[in-house]
Structure 1
Amino acid sequence: MTLTGGLDLAAVFVFALTGALTASRAQLDIVGFIFIACLTAVGGGTLRDLVLGRTPVFWIAAPEFIYLAAFAALVVFFTAHLLESRYRAILWLDACALAVAVPAGVGVAAHLGQPAPVLVMMGVATGCFGGLMRDVVCNEVPLVLKQGELYVTAAFAGASAAAIAIWQGLTPDIALLICAAVTLALRAGSMAFGWRLPVYKSRPPRS
């Protein structure tokens, strides 16, 4: 298995865990758990493949991805009550998922010979859209829109670091590892140390 394939597999599993935990907060039934887990797990990668014209979409070419997401949902359904804080677990699992999904998106685009801007956009899309769909469907405030937090910024920085590394002649595998490290460092730093970007504040118009 290639590094990109392994990253896709890891992203599906960890994002599925976050989807199932979000379903537990919404008190859904077991079918709801599986649906939200699968939606979260493959949402970003599906968008990536459709935009890139990569057919069949990765989870149709390999249904094992869906089986893995469903398995994650079942595990969470029977064990979520053991967690002291499901929301905190979601935050940290989501950070880990972001750190593997972004380089997975970059890796797929790089394999198809896409230019740097496309590498960056596909990394961001793969990392962010599954979680966005999860939160919208479950009526949660989307993590990607939390005020000032480094989420999309972390994905963008990680994908950009990978694109720069490839441009500098590093091997794609090393570039993807750099991408994962940058993404995780920024996202984890935002949660652990309160790293923030300045946010827009409205001001009265000048007379």
Structure 2
Amino acid sequence: MYGLLLEGIYSYLRVVFGEETLTKVRQKANITHSGFDSFRVYSETVIPRLARAAQDVTGMPQEELMESFGVSFVSYMSRYNYDRLLKVLGRNLRDFLNNLDNLHEYLRFSYPKIKPPSFFVTDETEDGLTLHYRSKRKGFKSYLKGQIRQVGKEFYNTDIKCHELEVDDSHGIFYVKMRLSFDNSEGFANLHFVTQL
């Protein structure tokens, strides 16, 4: 897990709850780092420990915290100019979601030890689509929901509702299938135009 993700969480906790609360969360999670190097790899256990500790310290439910971490990370990435990269991934939300694997491949140049999740889209309609998410990491579905909702809002002026359809972690890979409901009329029209050619 690269420090960029961890710094994003520290930033959220600092802004929303204050430095004193962040310190309490760090202590409760038994994390000695007051900051993280964005390009260094840290233990996979750090984010789950931070989320559990933040729940204990703030009283906010862990899944709600993870979703908030995901929302705030989208804005946090602008510090590293990754917001520009996100904006060019697609002319609409559908295209963006279809290019998430390409984004992670591009990030390998800066983060060679990245262990990216995988995404693919099915069941597209004018009202949304179904997103399939696979990862070696458990516990990030709410984080993902927060990121997707914020990308929709920030880059595509689109509100997204996420509905879990299936969750499976029985084969060593964490799999989530979710229906994303949003105005997909532009993306759906483009899809039908291409298939008619």
Whether the TM-score (by the shorter chain) exceeds 0.5 is no
Larger helix proportion of the pair: 1
The bucket for the TM-score relative to the shorter chain is 0.3 to 0.5
TM-score normalised according to structure 1 size: 0.31
